[in-house]
Amino acid sequence: MTNAREFEPVYMPVGVLTAALQELTPREQRDPDPDLAIEEWLAYAAAMGADNIELSAAIHPDLSDIPAEAMLDPVANTLDLREPFDERRAARVAAAIKETGVEIADVAYFDNLLHDDPAVRQSKVDFMIATMDAAVLMGVPAVCGFVGRDQTKSMDQNLIEFEKTFVPLLRAAKDRGLQYRVEQCPMPGWSPSDNFHNNIAYAPGTWIALHEICERNGVGDQFRVHYDPSHAILMGQDTRSIFQYLKDEGYDFLVAGMHVKGQVVDSKGVSGWGYGGQTVNRGDWIDGEVSSDPADLANAWKMQTVLCEHELPGTARHDPLAYLQNRTVDWLDHQLAARELLDIDFAITPLIVEHEYTPARIQDKDLLRPILEGSISFTRNIDKAAADMYALQNEVLAAQGIPIQGYGRQAFRS
């Protein structure tokens, strides 16, 4: 006798990275009262129907070694750590979480933690430790960030630098009961050099190499990946094939968080420059020397922007051909592939909407709110559709021996 399996889809919580609006709280208010920015972001997220926020931390603009003019997407120090984050501050944040019902998914600090200048590197590592301490006081399970790259060394030499710098950092995470989740953006515009991969944790091959180092040093459980499909599209990859690769290699556990940010490839830009992007005449070099003007250094990002543009989920046209060419994110298959191929607790793993679609980077909270609200709703409903399909096909039908129709998208095949 066949036993029926109940239809019980599992949906993922949906949140937003607070860098979507750098100055929700005007700086003249937040600098003297830094936790006001967190309170207002929690309320803003609640008004948009988000379940949680990814709290953006950054070195204060007055103290950063990278001028804002040199950045493609300036980060937000919603979490201000110029003064220590103590129990008093944590209690204030906890009260705002209780009032709004919006949780903090993790704390994110995106910077180059393998900087070639030892003093600068140490300052960034120290800031990440402070970020970890704040995460613990807020009861947050993870921090999120980059690995980075020492620009003076080869990729193989950077593995040695990773072991020297990140093993102690991950031990600090372990002591605090935290995961360190690495986002895989290659950061091509981080340097005016010809290096495209300026964050060595840019793809499954290097994730595995780095995790092997971590395992050897007893911190393998602390190293995880915060997957972002936009970076896969930038490098000609697709989510299903990446997840299949991880599963085939025995690393289906490695993805522990997700940004939902897309990428739309400009075929004309690819035709002109290839997937390495613009390499000459960008404007970051003047008369054979690196420009001293920070605004000129932002032109290094033409290595990326000449061939693609970030997508806020839901803002790009439905384009089945582009999905098959890996030139934009197939959101439904993204969510299906995660369920079919990864070892994740979907009920507690949030989808974090990251907004870097330049024409819609509106720094007016009232104008931006319906845009983010629409993207959050799109993300939630795409995930619900994928969860429903997975539960119906792989649980309900499977329990009764009923086959799934068709073939679907296949890994390693465009």
Specify if 232 maps to a domain: yes
Q: What gap in Å lies between CA 72 and CA 75, rounded to an integer?
A: 9
CB-side exposure of 338: number of CA atoms within 13 Å? 31
Buried b (16+ CB within 10 A) or exposed e, 87-124: eebbeebeebbeebebbbbbbbbbbbbbbeeeeebebb
**Residue with the larger pLDDT of the pair 269 and 63:** 269
Say which DSSP state 397 is in.
I
Chain mean pLDDT for the chain: 95
What residue type is assigned to position 168 of the chain? P
Local confidence band at 71 (pLDDT 50, 70, 90 cut-offs): low
Cα 405 off chain centre by: 34
What number is the average pLDDT over the span 63-92? 80
Specify if 67 maps to a domain: yes
Q: What is the pLDDT of residues 14-36, one digit of tens each?
A: 999 999 998 899 989 988 999 99
Specify if 154 maps to a domain: yes
Amino acid 27: pLDDT: 86
Number of domains in the chain: 1
Q: What is the pLDDT of residues 223-261, one digit of tens each?
A: 999 999 999 999 999 999 999 999 999 999 999 999 999
Amino acid 75: pLDDT: 64
Local confidence band at 68 (pLDDT 50, 70, 90 cut-offs): low
CB-based contact 129:172 (threshold 8 Å): yes
Specify if 406 maps to a domain: no
Q: Please give the share of the chain, as a percent, with pLDDT higher than 90.
A: 90
Read off φ and ψ for residue 412, nearest 5 degrees: 65, 25
The whole-model pTM stands at 0.95
Specify if 188 maps to a domain: yes
Specify if 313 maps to a domain: yes
pLDDT at 332 over 90: yes
| CATH number, residue 161 | 3.20.20.150
Q: What gap in Å lies between CA 374 and CA 21, rounded to an integer?
A: 15
Amino acid 76: pLDDT: 83
Q: What is the pLDDT of residues 274-321, one digit of tens each?
A: 999 999 999 999 999 999 998 899 999 999 999 999 999 999 999 999
Tell me the residue range of the domain where 110 lies: 14-399
Local confidence band at 194 (pLDDT 50, 70, 90 cut-offs): confident
pLDDT at 74 over 70: no
Specify if 289 maps to a domain: yes
Amino acid 152: pLDDT: 95
pLDDT at 62 over 80: no
Amino acid 330: pLDDT: 97
Specify if 197 maps to a domain: yes
Local confidence band at 359 (pLDDT 50, 70, 90 cut-offs): very high
What number is the average pLDDT over the span 95-121? 97
pLDDT at 81 over 60: yes
